Each structure stands twice: as structure tokens, then as C-alpha cells.
Amino acid sequence: MHHTLLLTLNAGSSSVKFAVYAATPALPLLAVGKIEGLGAQARFSVRSTADVASGFGLAPEPALNNHAEAVQAILRWQQHAFAGAQVLAVSHRVVHGGTSHVAPVLIDDAQVVALERLVPLAPLHQPHNLAGIRAARLAFPGVPQIACFDTAFHRHHGFVADTFALPRRYYDEGIRRYGFHGLSYEFIARRLHADHPALAAGRVIVAHLGNGASMCAMRNGRSVASTMGFTALDGLPMGTRCGQLDPGVVLYLMTEKGMDAAAISHLLYQESGLKGLSGLSHDVRTLQASDNPAAHEALAYFADRCRREIGSLSASLGGLDALVLTGGIGENAAAVRAAILADMGWLGIELDPQANQDHATAISTPASRVSVLVFKTNEERMLAEHAAELLML
């Protein structure tokens, strides 16, 4: 029986993902779960690693309307599933850490206030992350709460990689390129260092391709450039987000279409990307199964922008030794990977079509100068590792 536990929380707009680890040096995963549909018909699902079939139904639960009620439900489940075990710490994913957070921190009242000030920088994510933190502080009084930031991994960039060509005062105010998906990139960097140390020491691009998508250029395991900028809208097209966009388009929508900030925000965050281009869906699986030409044009655009960003980040690294694909699309969509990596011999990438089709870890040919790997990312594990390191387990 495990007597002390680490709990990780990743709070979204209508969901809370969580995982439970034993608070021992190896951090074995004990259970992983999520609550979806907050405020509507909430569903609680959990998978224990000891007993894969163990589900925890919502039958005894009242309606879960918000994050506080969801975290209380997780607490009740934890007390039932791990009777007598103590939660040593709760580790939270926080999307934006601003300019000052370069590492995970213990959360106190002052930290909550500081993180609230960053809500305008990540309006779709930060309020929900904070709701999860508030809920957990109430549900687990006296238990250390740790914030881990998606921006922290990129906070060592030089000025050139971080700035926009705006008057300098805006940079000083914090209008700069932050980059995101840092917990995923850090997990991949550590895994690469453990499994492929020679590659990890070199020039690596990691492509986190999911509903949110970005790429990160790393040298010796450290981020040197990212495709995402001031917000999670920049760079690659995503499920419902536009990616790179001429700012003149936004001005045009304001002046000629009479759209206000709220309407433009809704358009760029919720109605664009693969969903907007296809007019069908944000989901790559749906688009691949469709015989609608617009669905295939959306996927072709996605692949083309990925290719351009690989070229751009290779230039910032002065060459490339390895490319790692991760995230829901990177890990599972063989056809999308093939489209991104076709005719990349000029960069030293030679795809092995069979290995790609078989979802092998290495999908480049033995002769390929650049190693292409597919890794499964694990942001929850990164949250647990950060908590363990901060508490010096």
C-alpha cells in the first residue's frame, strides 16, 4: 500500500485531467483520470494501473458544475481508492508564467495574485488553471501546491528570439515571444537525454502536434526558439486556431468588417485552423476519413506550414541532427507525418515509409543523416517530477 501520493492536476475550461503517483523516487503511476463536461453532464473516468478495469462512476456524485466541485470529487475518489494514504503535494499545469517564472514554484496567496495578472496573456487557459489551483487549495488544506509553467522552458531565449520588431518599451512591458508546450518539450528533452544522449546534445527540433501545435528548436536540451509567440495563436495552424497570420488581417477585420476584439478573438481561437479551413472539423481523423476536398486542403496546409517551420528552426540551429514528433497528431497520424516529411532529403531527412506506417519509434531510414523519432509525450509525468524535485523526494 502506498502511504504518500503525488497528485497532478491539469484544469481546462470544462475538464480536469489528473494523475496519481506514489511519492517514492521512481514515481510509479498509480492512476490516471479525467472529469469532462463540467457544468453540463459531467463524466468521471479513471484508470488504475493496478486494475485497468477499475472505473469510478458518477452515480453517487452530485452534478459537477465547476472546478471546485470537480476537485472535491477527485478528493472523494482518492480517499476511497487509496484509503489511509496521504497526498504529499498537488502539482498544477499553468499555461503562462510571464517573464519572471523560469522554474516551478510553491503556490501561496502572493503567487495566485501574480498569476491572475497574467490572465490577459492566456485568456483561454489561465483562468481555468487558476480555478483548479483555488479548488485544490480548498480541498487539500495545508498540502503544498506547486505551479509548473508551459512558458518556463523557453525563458532562456536570447533577445533576438524573444522580441518583436516593435518599439522597445513594449518588450520591456512583457510583450514578447513566450513560447508554450514547455512541459511537453521538457519531458521529451529528458527522455531524449536518457535514451539518445548523443542526439540530445545536438541540434533537435521537437514538433508537438495536437489540437494545439507548436515546434521548439533545442540545442543540448535547451530551448533556443519556438514557433509560438506572445500567445498560443502564433506559428502552426491548429485544430481551431489560425497560427501565423498577417496582423494586417486583424486591422482589416476591425475597419472593414466592424469586428470588435471579442469577435476577432472568437474567430482566431475557435473558428479557424483545421476547423475553419475544412468547414468540417478540427479533428485530423475526421478530415482524413472525409472525401470532401476542403478537408484534404486543410491537411495539406497544415503539413506545408509544418515543413516551413522545420526549415526555419533548422536555420536558427545552424543545421539539424534529430526531429522528434509528439502530441496526438505527431504520435498517431502516420499519413500526416509522411506529408510533412516528404522530399526533405535536402535537409538530411529520409523517411522509412514502412516504419512510419508501423508507428515505430524511429521512422527515418538507417541512411538518413537526420534521425526522426516518434515519442509519446507525458505532461502529467513532468508535473510529478517537478513536484518531487521541489520537495526533494
| Catalytically active residues, by annotation | 150
Q: What are phi and psi of 234, to 5 degrees?
A: -85, 165
Polymer length in residues for the chain:
393
Alpha helices in the chain (DSSP H): 67-81, 109-116, 126-139, 159-162, 168-172, 182-195, 197-200, 247-255, 261-270, 273-278, 284-289, 293-317, 327-332, 334-341, 353-357, 379-390
Please give the Cα distance from 228 to 217 (Å, whole number): 11
Residue 7, H or E segment: strand 4-11
Please give the Cα distance from 386 to 392 (Å, whole number): 10
Please give the Cα distance from 47 to 235 (Å, whole number): 35
Quick one: cell of 226? 519556438
In the three-class reduction of DSSP (H, G, I as helix; E, B as strand; rest coil), residue 344 is classed as coil
* Distance set, CA 109 to CA 71, 72, 113, 130 (Å): 19, 20, 6, 12
Please give the Cα distance from 320 to 40 (Å, whole number): 47
In the three-class reduction of DSSP (H, G, I as helix; E, B as strand; rest coil), residue 108 is classed as coil
In terms of Cα–Cα distance, which of 146, 147, 18 is closest to 75?
A: 18
**273 touches 243 (CB < 8 A):** yes
Please give the Cα distance from 96 to 122 (Å, whole number): 7
Question: Could you give the maximum distance between any two Cα atoms of the chain, in Å?
Answer: 65
Quick one: cell of 256? 472593414
Q: At what angle do helices 126-139 and 109-116 cross, to 10 degrees?
A: 160
Quick one: cell of 390? 521541489
Please give the Cα distance from 344 to 363 (Å, whole number): 13
CA-only gyration radius of the chain, Å: 21
